[in-house]
A and B are shown apart, each in its own frame.
Chain A
Amino acid sequence: MGREQDEQAAVSPTPRVALPGSAQWMISSLEGEVRTVAEQVTAQVRVAVPELDAPGDGRLRQLVFTAIHNAMHLFVDEALGREVSYTPVEDMFRKVGYRVAVRGRDQELVDQGMAVAVAALSNELGARAAENELSAGALNAINEAVSAFVGHLTAQISIGYRAGAEARSTDTGLARARLIAALLTGGDDDEVESQAAIAGWEVADAVTVIAVEVEAGRPLSPDTLGPEALTRPGREPQPVVCATADAEDVVAAIRAAAPQTRIAVCWPVPRADAPVAWTWANRALELVRAKVIPARPVIECVRFRTEIWLHAEPVLRRQLAQELLQPLFSETENSREILSETLLVWLETRDSAPAIAARLGVHPQTVRYRWKRINELFGDSLHDPDFVIQLTLLLKASVPLWIAGDQSDFQRYREQEAG
């Protein structure tokens, strides 16, 4: 079928499959074997057009079979006079065209595949007609209906192909922006691969996500980072994603472009985990601002995984603190700080008083005194293993915040008490 005919079919109304009774009867005999026939047809298409069976493009491979199978179902249902909707099948054939186009392949491939499929299907129908001694007129009616149906679907492929080709020819910067957005929001593989193909960015199995603490109104230009880095100016912090193999060069490029800017470099993650890596890198920057992580120009997140983990749920930490640390909150600020610090060291090390004292830089008797006070405050709870684990995690998360000057836990406690 020529291109012009395709375009005409695309804009023409959806064809209605109307068959004489004997043809309907024969089609009905096919109903239970649609999947088997679809598999056979797909197998012939894959053999005839190997490009549609590329092992590296599993989605296209699956899409071809699904499109053939669903199209056959639609044809049979409509031939048997059932209520049907063309939209899902049309979308599927447009996707096939789009995928082939954005990968820079020729539409002839799809046309070739369609021709193989139609031929295989016609052979199958012919054989069935002979078996069922179908009249020539009825067989002719079936063939005409198939031709109209295939013509309509081929037109959908053309529409999809044109859209893909158009996307491919548009600005790659836009595609790169869409790609990083898809990566950081967990967009589906189809979207990621399509945008990556348009952007000319090779999708790596492991990626490194970087959060750049840019000054307001002074974003990093994508040009300064090189083609291997994806970035999205205008967001604060500004995200940068690159293949892990390129991470070192990209970090160096960021440092060269903005030496005063702090960046948080997440550890390498599979591509699918890029959204959480972005969350972790952001949290690392937040923890630097909260003085939990030391302020350095380049924050290697891998060195602060514990802190990032402990502060993953700030609201939960806050609620647990209000619940479990109440005895400490009723102490003075100074007492609260030194008792919690001592308790945390004990929970972490379970050392003797002299060892803890050496670690804290105080006299051993001071540690014994603090331990007596801690026992007075928490009582038998300290013998409950679950409580001890919760307390350890909670203090590990909270004490650095308190030392950094965060008094919100105590203010909240006082407000609750006053209320």
Chain B
Amino acid sequence: MSSETVACLLLAVLPAAFAFGAPLSLWFARARARAAGVFLDGARAIAAGSRVDTVLLDRWGTVTTGQLRVVAVDPVEPDHERNLRWFAGALGHAADDPVSRAIARLSARGKLSQVHQHEGRGISGSVDRHPVRLGRPDWLGMESRDDTGVTVGVQVDSRPIGYITVADDVRPHAADGVARLRSAGVVPVLVSEDSERNTRELAATCGIEEWYADRPADVRDALVEEQHRRGRVVAVAGPGAPARAELVLAEDDTTDGSTVQARIRLADLDVARVATALAVARGAARATTRARRTGVAVGVAGIVLAATGALALPLAVGYAVLGCAAVVAVAGAGRPR
């Protein structure tokens, strides 16, 4: 075999080698995903993302904005509504829990003093020298309420002035995001540390059929295990990184070094963005497969042409260039569905 024939054969297989050697799909997927607030760090994430069929959605930040919001202000006398908003809101600024943060948005900051947190019960302090307590109604000697969400009582000058109810701030398009997951063949599962009733109502609002209530963050691995036993490939969207999940979708890229699972970093945990991330991963996987197949086909055809002498050296060079271009075009055509 002449050296020219050998050169022609090598040029003919070049598109196939290019398709397998260069991570073209990953490059294209990264570029597209970045524009959507999804940051793919490696091929493992694409591989894992393409296999995921279940995603555990943490309550905070996925279907909700990650915050609570006041849904009801119920004064004991109508005249007290503004007082209720002012005193509760001013005291709310002194605490950092989600309920207090939601109530704090009712008013500006005030002059606070003698603030005390009462673990599991509420918070007390002085607003403009008036003693104010904000917390569980039974702690304040007020009648308990059975509203959806969390209802706290408010007391000023040792007198009850009303109730404030806060609930999850559901993302406006949460149901759409959930529907996109489901249409992509991914089962959304809501996980919440909140009560069963509140979790059920949140799931229903978002169109989620499977949910876990009263589950704090440190038991997420057990939930992943449970899904594994049902034969599912699991991604987890939310803070923290359950070690047993195949894929983690999180806002930050911090890891503790021991985690070995694939990660996708997101601009936020919005369920719509989670759906986009999984779709990008799947699209990238499909594009990789198509590009490799295209490379193999172009390579095989080139070998046949070179072996039959139909591919002279100048033509072989042109063939290799066109073949590589075809591989790139196919790899770049992989768009998420």
Where the two chains meet, the residues of A that have a C-beta atom closer than 8 Å to any C-beta of B are 332, 334-335, 338, 361-363, 365-366, 368-369, 372-373
Contacts and interface: CB of A to CB of B under 8 A. Distances in A.
Contacts of B127: 366
B33 interface: no
Contacts of A365: 82-83, 86, 107
Contacts of A334: 129, 131
B156 interface: yes
B110 interface: yes
Contact of A372 (B79, B86, B131, B158): B79
B90 interface: yes
A335 B157 contact: yes
Q: Which of A332, A335, A338, A366 has the most CB of B within 10 A?
A: A366
B197 interface: no
A366 B108 CA distance: 12
B230 interface: no
Given A332-B158, A338-B129, A369 B111 contact: no
Given A332-B158, A334-B129, A334-B131, A368 B83 contact: yes
Contact of A369 (B86, B107, B158): B86
Contacts of B107: 365
B108 A363 contact: yes
Contacts of A373: 157
Contacts of A335: 130, 157
B314 to A, nearest CB: 86
A338 B130 contact: yes
B278 to A, nearest CB: 48
Contacts of A332: 157-158
B185 to A, nearest CB: 54
Given A362-B128, A363-B86, A366-B86, 20 more contacts: A332-B158, A334-B129, A338-B128, A338-B130, A361-B111, A362-B129, A363-B110, A363-B111, A363-B128, A365-B82, A365-B83, A365-B86, A365-B107, A366-B110, A366-B127, A366-B130, A368-B83, A369-B130, A372-B80, A372-B83
Contacts of A361: 111
B84 to A, nearest CB: 10
Nearest to A363: B110
Interface in B102-135: 107-108, 110-111, 127-131
A56 B79 CA distance: 74
Contacts of A363: 86, 90, 108, 110-111, 128
A362 B108 CA distance: 12
B211 interface: no
B87 interface: yes
B87 A369 contact: yes
Interface in B60-91: 79-80, 82-83, 86-87, 90
A335 B127 CA distance: 12
Q: Which of A334, A363, A369, A372 has the most CB of B within 10 A?
A: A369
A365 B107 CA distance: 10
B158 to A, nearest CB: 7
A346 to B, nearest CB: 16
Contacts of B86: 363, 365-366, 369
Nearest to A331: B157
Q: Which of B86, B87, B157 has the most CB of A within 10 A?
A: B157
Contacts of B82: 365, 368
Nearest to A357: B128
B128 A366 contact: yes
12 contacts: A335-B157, A338-B130, A361-B111, A362-B129, A363-B86, A363-B108, A366-B128, A368-B83, A369-B83, A369-B156, A372-B79, A373-B157
Nearest to B127: A366
A362 B111 contact: yes
Contacts of B110: 362-363, 366
Question: 4 shortest A-B CB distances, which residue pairs?
Answer: A365-B86, A362-B128, A366-B128, A369-B83
B121 to A, nearest CB: 22
A276 to B, nearest CB: 40
A373 B110 CA distance: 20
Interface string B124-148: 0001111100000000000000000
Contacts of A362: 110-111, 128-129
A247 to B, nearest CB: 44
B229 to A, nearest CB: 56
Contacts of A338: 128-130
A387 B129 CA distance: 28
Nearest to B83: A369
Contacts of B87: 369
A371 to B, nearest CB: 11
Contacts of B158: 332
Nearest to B131: A334
A333 to B, nearest CB: 11
B112 to A, nearest CB: 11
Nearest to B107: A365
A363 B83 CA distance: 11
Nearest to A365: B86
Interface string B297-310: 00000000000000
Interface string B146-173: 0000000000111000000000000000
Nearest to B156: A369
Nearest to A367: B128
A363 B79 CA distance: 17
A45 B156 CA distance: 88
B206 to A, nearest CB: 37
